[in-house]
Structure formats: structure tokens, C-alpha cells
Structure 1
Amino acid sequence: MQIEWQKEISQRKDALLADLTEMLKIESVRNEKLGSKNAPFGPGPRAALDKFLEIGKRDGFAVLNVDGVAGHLEYGTGIETMGILAHVDVMPAGKGWDTDPFEPIIKDGKLFARGSSDDKGPGMAAYYGLKLIKELGLPTSKKVRMIIGTDEESGWRCMTHYFEKMPLPDFGFSPDAFFPLINGEKGNVSFNVDFQGGNGAGAKLLDFSAGLRENMVPRDAIAHISGIELKEIKELLTEFADDKPIEVEALEQNERIEISVIGRAAHAQEPKNGENAGTYLALFLKQIELGSGAEQFIDFAADYLHEDSRMDNFGLHFSDKTMGDLTMNAGIFNFAAAQGGRVTLNFRFPKGIGASQIEEALAKVATKVNAQVNTTGKLQEPHYVSIEDPLVKTLLGVYERQTGNKGYGMVVGGGTYGRLMKRGVAFGAMFPGTPDTMHQANEYMLIEDILKAAAIYAEAIYELIK
């Protein structure tokens, strides 16, 4: 039976975009302050999970909601189970958007909204691939479970809870990354570096904040200082920012000076793609004598973190031939004169190095600035599936047939649900050459790419379960 996958998906374009639009309108950002027993991560993630399962139930799939944190829709029968693991939670929108991030809009063939490329767009594309197989009544020999999480952008507690109650699939993929295919993912660990508070006798750092999540390069940073004239700050700031890729501003507010820096957000898997507003602000403030814990907090950020994504300043530059570099992202900065400060650092590490070595290198530097290193309790070891695995070969074969381009495997610093399965990979949905706007303002996905991905997913799923 010859199936024109792309033609079949194009005939379902309007329905796919309608369902995706409904998903994108849900502000499914984790907010545990508004959480409840039925919605532990907040009402937004729960609403997005409910909507996705509602769509599946409407289309005749068997669905299961696991305590409001995860769920699945199921198709087919068989001894083996294939998993398709996606997530419906999204990163905070942040600043810098040209449109409302939760009012999807199509401009120049691009669908703009938070979650359009990470991961609601790819997730819906994979769902329509599975839906197409069901609608065509194609014969299958294996069961498929599309498993939906609501805490992927944070601690993956959704999947921890789900797999305490449900078995792991035998193999599968996550539509939450790049084509052709990701068969290797670095390890992932975060540490907090904690500082004492206080200032010296002169200028004082009252507070400092930057970053929304540890797995994002901070776009915005703000500090409030006192004991120095606004005119002096403005002169220093103008000179400082003249040759740097940032925007700056200083203004007087309630007998204190507010200094703000705007950089460029990026995913923590490659901090070089962003401009860290937090470290730039620290670099500027280093010109001012502060004293005590404030000075130590600023010195650490400016001297050790600024433009050092490879831990060169910590003496721990490390690279593996297969999995690439160890990377460090300074994701969250907070300081208050009375309470002290904290910097949260996120690391993506290849095989050959471990979390204990990273912690040891951090601790050596931390002692120099009277700080302490504490674990956040999050650790994922490196994950790798051989390029010769039949799963990998099948997926790359489908990609090559439908795109006409050479398929190949990749190793990335980002972490996807694919790593939860021993034979699990990440497969799409961003195509080579497409700008990566995940975790950034004005996130978008090309409509054409959503449809192309759905067609690839449809054929790939069928090839794996027929």
C-alpha cells in the first residue's frame, strides 16, 4: 500500500492548526504557588494536559490521566510498546515579545507563540502522525503510547510519577529537539553557589536579580544601588556598554539607583548562543567598590562566570570526542543585602566526567569568595543509543526518504524525554538551517515545518509498529 504521507497530512492542515492553536492559548507555565492536589504544578500545566487528552479522547484513543501531572493516549495492541514522549508545559514568556505570547498569530508563514517550537508544535505534529495511522486503519503489531508530561522544563517530576505507576516503553522517541536525529544527550546537573550578604562603608548593592530558569541564559538583569550619584553611574554605564551586545539603562528611584541590562536569552545547552545579562551587569558593578558579601557575589559572577561557558576559569575544560564539551550556564542570580546571594549554575556534561568533579572544581573557586556550593538534587547521566540500532536506522531512513537529505545522528546538551527509554532518541521537529527560537522571545515554528514533521512522524511511527 503506497501512502502519500505529506499529502495526507496537508489534507488535515486546518484541523491540526486548530488543535495546536487551542493548546498554545493555554499559559502552561509552572506555578506551584497556585498548585493544588489535582494540579501540583499549577493550573496552566494541568489545563494543557487536560486539553491534549481531551483531543485524544475526541479522536477515539484510549486515554489515561495520571494524577494531573502526566497522561497518555494509546493505540494498537502487541507485546512491545513504542513510546512517543512530549510535554505541554512551557517556559515563562519573559520580556521582548512583539506579540502576546499566548495569543498565537501567523505571520509570514510562521506561527508565533510560546510553545510553538518547544514543545506543543512538535507534540501536535507527532499526534497527528499517529492519528493519521489510526484514521487510515493501517495494520500494526505493537502498541503505541503517546505520553504527555507537564514538568519537562523544570524537574521532570511528571515523568518520575508517571513511571512509578506505568511501565517504560520498550523503545521510542521524543519530538522535542532537532532533525535528523539526536541519539546522544549529555548529562545534566545544577548547583547553587551561596553567598553571605552585607556591604562595605561606601556604595551599597541593595539587590540584584537576573534569570528565570537555570536552563535559560538570562535576558534581563536589574540591580539597585545606593551611596553613589546617578550622573557618575550613567557615565560609567555609557562607556561600559559602548562596545558590548547589550542594552543598558540607569535611573533614580526612591533614593536609590536602578541599573538594568538587556542581553539575549538562549537555551542552556549552548550558552554561547545568548548574551548573559546577569554576568554583564556584574562585570559593570565590579567597577564600584562594594565590600563584604556583595563584592564577593559580584566578583564571582564577573571574574569566573562572564563569557566562560566551558569552565576554563575553574580549570575544568573537558571535551569528549563523541559527546562534545562540558558546558556551564549561569541561569539565575539573586542577591539581597540582608539575606545574601545565590547563583544557580546548570551543567551539561559528556561521558568521561561526572557531577562530583564539577562540584569539586566549583568548591575550590567558591572558597576564594567565601561562598558555599550546594546541590539542587537534580542529576541526569549521559545517554547514548548506537547509530547502528534498528530504531535509529529506521527513523533516519524515513527522514531521508521524505526530505531527500542525508540523515545523521547528533549529540546535544539539551535533555529530552527520549533519554528515559534505554532505546530512546529525540527526533525532530526543528529542521537543519532553521533558526532556533526555543526559550526565546518571539518563539515560532514555520507552518510548513509543522506539516513536514507530521508527515515524517506518521511514516516513522508506522514503520516502527507495523
Structure 2
Amino acid sequence: MAVDFQAEIAKRRDDMLADLFSLLRINSERDDSLADAQHPFGPGPVRALETFLAMAERDGYTSRNIDNYAGHFEYGQGEEVLGIFAHLDVVPAGSGWETDPYEPVIKDGKLYARGASDDKGPTVACYYALKVIKELGLPVSKKVRFIVGTDEESGWADMDYYFKHSGVKKPDFGFSPDAEFPIINGEKGNITQYLHFSGSNGSDFVLHSFEGGLRENMVPESARAVFSSESLSFTEIQSELQQFAAENNLQTDLSQDGDQITVTLIGKSAHGMSPQAGVNGATYLACFLSRYSFGGAAGDFLKIAGQVLHLDYYGEKIGLAYEDSKMGALTMNPGVFRFAETADDNMIALNFRFPQGVSSEGIYQQLTKLDGPNAVTVSEHLHEPHYLPPSDPLVETLLRVYEKQTGLKGHEQIIGGGTFGRLLECGVAYGAMFPDYENTMHQANEFADVDDLYRAAAIYAEAIYELIK
């Protein structure tokens, strides 16, 4: 049966945009300070989940909410199950926005809002793709399970809980609309490891506090430090900071309250899988401060952050540089920095995206050789490298549909980012960003091109139908 999927999506453009706006207006950042038994990641992700599942119920699906961790609805019949994995949580909005991040705005054909491209926009595009198939009553021989999570950006505890408590087996094959076209059939491994420091000082320069970064998988946009000095005046520090800022094209702010000096440095956020695309405000601030004679653990903290980790996107200074011919190079994002002189345990979180040939244990062993940290610990959330060859029928089908819809040549891609596509042995990421698209995920002023979302929805519709007809 020949179907013009682009025309079918065009008929539903207004409804699709209205549903997307309803999700984008929800601040679904994880907030552990408000988490409880009914709100495992805070109230925002729950509101987004409830809103999405209410959409499904409105459209005639039977949905399931798995204790506010994740949810799903199903369509079709058959022994085989196609899984579509999306997420409704978002990274913190941060600063630097020209619009309210939770009041979607369309300007020059671009939809600005946190989650517009990661991942609410693609999620709704994929939802409307399946909606077309359902409303047209197209014949299918497989089941679709559309699964949405609420903790993809932090630790995937949503999917851990979902598969333990939903009572359903994993889908046989599937994709996640959370990356790029033509396809993402390989993803690097992903692990966060932590360098620990005490809160001691040991000279006339005293570091009272240092904070930078919102999430491990984001390049810290800004950082703030409070310190004092008996040997250098405020005016001298101000002059040196101005010179440092000019040399590195940075925004800074300096103030004094009694004997304490507060300095803030602003860089540029980016996705943690591409630390070289951002300007790490925390390592730049540590680089500036490490010129002074801070001692003890404070000195070690600033030296590691400002001299060892600063601009070392590939772990070269700490002996971790490695590149695989297919998956590319290991990358390192120093994502979160916390130091307080009153704390017994301070830390720097390092998020690694690593290819085949590297292990989390190998990274850990190398980090323990660093001079300065008093301990190294490893996150329990480890994702090994994932790869599905181009010869796999799933990859072949998705690339064929992409080529038909766009007229562009499809090809395999491997990224440093991690998507729910890797939850399945036979799983990939598919769209919704098109080639040469400006990637604003995890950045201020995140946007999605509205027409591209409609284009993606048509591709998803045909792809889903080809996979289940």
C-alpha cells in the first residue's frame, strides 16, 4: 500500500506542535532535592511522563506507568516487538538563554526550548509517526512498544527499574530517536570516574570554595571560586584576571567581601561527548588560580583541574590517549567540580567516552597514578561500547528509508554520546538531527528546526511501517 507519509504528517502539523509545546513547557530536569517515593527523580520528570501517557490515552492507546520511572504504550499484534525508546527528562537549562527555556518560542523557523532537540522534539515526531500508521489502519504483523524514560540524562536508573518491574521482556529490535540521521549504529562506552580530595589548605592563599558544572555529561559553562590571600592585593589579582580573560576571550567577574575574594568565570557549555566543542569554565578558572601558591589539598585540586585536565580533551596528559580505527578517540569531559574547605570529601567528576580497546578498569588504574587525589572511585553506571554492523537488517531498512525520503546517501556513524538504542543488542539511534545541523544539545538556546521535525516524523512513519508491516 503506497502512502505519502510526508503529506500525512503535514495534515497533523498543528496538533503535533501543540503536543510538543505542552511537553516543552514542563521543566523536567532531575531534582534530587525534591525526590521521594512517588517522584524518584523529582516532580518535573513525573509531570512530563504523565503528560505524555495522557496523550497516548487520548489517542486510543492503553498506557502503563511503571511507578513514575518510565512508561509505555503498545500498538499492533505479533510475536516480534519493535521497541522505540525515547526520554522526557532534560539537562539543566543553565544560564545564557535569550528566551525562557521552558516557554517554547519559534523564531525564524527554529523552535527554542530546553528539550526541543534532546529529546522531546524527536519523541513527539516519532509519536506522530506511529499515530499516522494507527489512524490509517495500515496492516502490521509485529507489535510496537513505545517506551519513554525519565532519567536518560543522569544515570539510566529509569530503564534499570523499568526492565526489573514492568514484567515485559526486552523488545527484539528497535531504535531511539535521540541522535542523528542517517543512523547511529555504534556508540562509544561511557563511564564517569571521580577524583577525591580533602578540604585542607596549606599556605597564605586559602581556597574556601570552588564550584563548577551542573551534570557530568555537560561541559561546565561557568565556575565560581571564593578565596583569600595575605600576600596579594585585590587590585593585583584584578589586573592579572583581566589579562587572563583577554588572552583567552573569557567573561569574568571579581568582587571582594572583607578578606574574601569571589571570582566567576563564564565559558560555553556543550555535550560531554564533545568536550572540545565547549569552553570549560571550571578548568579555565582553575588554570588561573593555579598560578598562585595554594597548598594542601586545595593546591592539588587546582593543579589537577587547571594544569592536568585543562584542554586535555583526549586524556593525553594522564596517559589515556587511545584511538580505534572504527570508533575514534577516547574523550574526557571534566564535568563537575566541588571543593569546600569545611568538607572532608571534595571531588572532580570525569566523564569518559571510550572506544573498543579501552576498559573502565584501565581508565581507573591510570587515574590512580595521578599525584594529588587521595582516592579514585567509579560510577556504577557503566555502558560498554556498542556496535551493530551495516549488514544487519535493521540498519539496512532504516538507511533505505532515509535515502528514499531525503535523496541523500546513507552511511553508518559512530558517536561518543550514549542513547537508549544501546539497550538492545539489535538497537540503534535514528535521527532526528539531519546532516550539517547545528547541534545545540546541552547548550543554552537549544533549538530544533521546525520543518526538520516534520521531515523526521515522515521518515519515522515510513521506517516504522517498513519494520512492522
- The letter for the 2-side match of 1:328 is M
Aligned to 1:344: 349
Secondary structure of the corresponding residue to residue 83 of structure 2: strand
Q: Residue 245 of structure 1 contacts residue 263 of structure 1 at CA under 8 Å; is this kept in 2?
A: no
Identity across aligned pairs (percent)? 52
In structure 1, what is the Cα distance between the partners aligned to 2:452 and 2:62? 28
Q: Residue 211 of structure 1 contacts residue 278 of structure 1 at CA under 8 Å; is this kept in 2?
A: yes
Task: Say if 2:297 is the partner of 1:293.
Answer: yes
Aligned to 1:57: 57
In structure 2, what is the Cα distance between the partners aligned to 1:245 and 1:63? 51
Q: Residue 233 of structure 1 contacts residue 250 of structure 1 at CA under 8 Å; is this kept in 2?
A: no
Aligned to 1:207: 209
Aligned to 1:167: 169
TM-score normalised by length of structure 2: 0.98
In structure 2, what is the Cα distance between the partners aligned to 1:194 and 1:370? 5
- The letter for the 1-side match of 2:347 is R
In angstroms, what is the RMSD of aligned CA positions? Answer: 0.9
In structure 2, what is the Cα distance between the partners aligned to 1:147 and 1:292? 49
Matches within 5 A, 1:187-202: 187-202=189-204
Aligned to 1:376: 379
Aligned to 1:5: 5
Per mean C-alpha deviation after superposition, the further-off stretch among 192-201 and 148-157 is: 192-201
Aligned to 2:255: 251
Task: Say if 2:14 is the partner of 1:14.
Answer: yes
- The letter for the 2-side match of 1:305 is L
Matches within 5 A, 1:56-205: 56-164=56-164, 165=166, 166-205=168-207
Q: Residue 331 of structure 1 contacts residue 346 of structure 1 at CA under 8 Å; is this kept in 2?
A: yes
**Poorly superposed stretches of 4+, deviation over 6 Å:** none
The answer for unaligned runs of 5 or more in structure 1 is none
Cα deviation, 1:372-403, whole Å, max 9, x if unaligned, reads 11112221111110110010010001111111
- The letter for the 2-side match of 1:103 is E
- The letter for the 2-side match of 1:63 is S
What is the aligned counterpart of 1:318 among 319, 322, 325?
A: 322
TM-score normalised by length of structure 1: 0.98
- The letter for the 1-side match of 2:465 is Y
- Displacement of 1:248 in angstroms is 1.3
- Displacement of 1:455 in angstroms is 0.4
- The letter for the 2-side match of 1:6 is Q
Cα deviation, 1:168-224, whole Å, max 9, x if unaligned, reads 000010000011100001111111100121222312111000000000000010001
Q: Residue 126 of structure 2 contacts residue 457 of structure 2 at CA under 8 Å; is this kept in 1?
A: yes
- Displacement of 1:245 in angstroms is 3.5
Q: Residue 85 of structure 1 contacts residue 174 of structure 1 at CA under 8 Å; is this kept in 2?
A: yes
Q: Residue 208 of structure 2 contacts residue 226 of structure 2 at CA under 8 Å; is this kept in 1?
A: yes
Aligned to 2:367: 362
The count of residues paired between Structure 1 and Structure 2 equals 464
Task: Say if 2:460 is the partner of 1:463.
Answer: no
In structure 1, what is the Cα distance between the partners aligned to 2:238 and 2:373? 31
Cα deviation, 1:290-318, whole Å, max 9, x if unaligned, reads 11111010001112100001110011210
Q: Residue 85 of structure 2 contacts residue 175 of structure 2 at CA under 8 Å; is this kept in 1?
A: yes
- Displacement of 1:451 in angstroms is 0.3
Aligned to 2:398: 395
In structure 1, what is the Cα distance between the partners aligned to 2:113 and 2:95? 13
Matches within 5 A, 1:219-258: 219-227=221-229, 228-258=232-262
In structure 1, what is the Cα distance between the partners aligned to 2:120 and 2:218? 18
In structure 2, what is the Cα distance between the partners aligned to 1:154 and 1:59? 30
Aligned to 2:445: 442
In structure 2, the CA distance between the partners of 1:112 and 1:254, relative to structure 1 (3 Å rule), is: farther
Q: Residue 245 of structure 1 contacts residue 275 of structure 1 at CA under 8 Å; is this kept in 2?
A: no
In structure 2, what is the Cα distance between the partners aligned to 1:187 and 1:135? 39
Q: Residue 218 of structure 1 contacts residue 265 of structure 1 at CA under 8 Å; is this kept in 2?
A: yes
Q: Residue 211 of structure 1 contacts residue 218 of structure 1 at CA under 8 Å; is this kept in 2?
A: yes
The answer for unaligned runs of 5 or more in structure 2 is none
Secondary structure of the corresponding residue to residue 225 of structure 2: strand
- Displacement of 1:155 in angstroms is 0.8
In structure 2, what is the Cα distance between the partners aligned to 1:243 and 1:135? 59
- The letter for the 2-side match of 1:375 is V
In structure 2, what is the Cα distance between the partners aligned to 1:338 and 1:44? 32
Q: Residue 246 of structure 1 contacts residue 275 of structure 1 at CA under 8 Å; is this kept in 2?
A: no
- Displacement of 1:254 in angstroms is 4.7
- The letter for the 2-side match of 1:175 is P
- The letter for the 1-side match of 2:333 is N
Aligned to 1:385: 388
Q: Residue 230 of structure 1 contacts residue 250 of structure 1 at CA under 8 Å; is this kept in 2?
A: no
- The letter for the 2-side match of 1:347 is F
In structure 2, what is the Cα distance between the partners aligned to 1:230 and 1:412? 45
Q: Residue 301 of structure 2 contacts residue 373 of structure 2 at CA under 8 Å; is this kept in 1?
A: no
In structure 1, what is the Cα distance between the partners aligned to 2:353 and 2:249? 25
Q: Residue 34 of structure 2 contacts residue 42 of structure 2 at CA under 8 Å; is this kept in 1?
A: yes
Cα deviation, 1:117-173, whole Å, max 9, x if unaligned, reads 000000000000000000110000000010000000011011111111321000010
Cα deviation, 1:318-363, whole Å, max 9, x if unaligned, reads 0111111111110000111121521000001111110011001111
Q: Residue 197 of structure 1 contacts residue 338 of structure 1 at CA under 8 Å; is this kept in 2?
A: yes
Aligned to 2:311: 307
Q: Residue 28 of structure 2 contacts residue 88 of structure 2 at CA under 8 Å; is this kept in 1?
A: yes
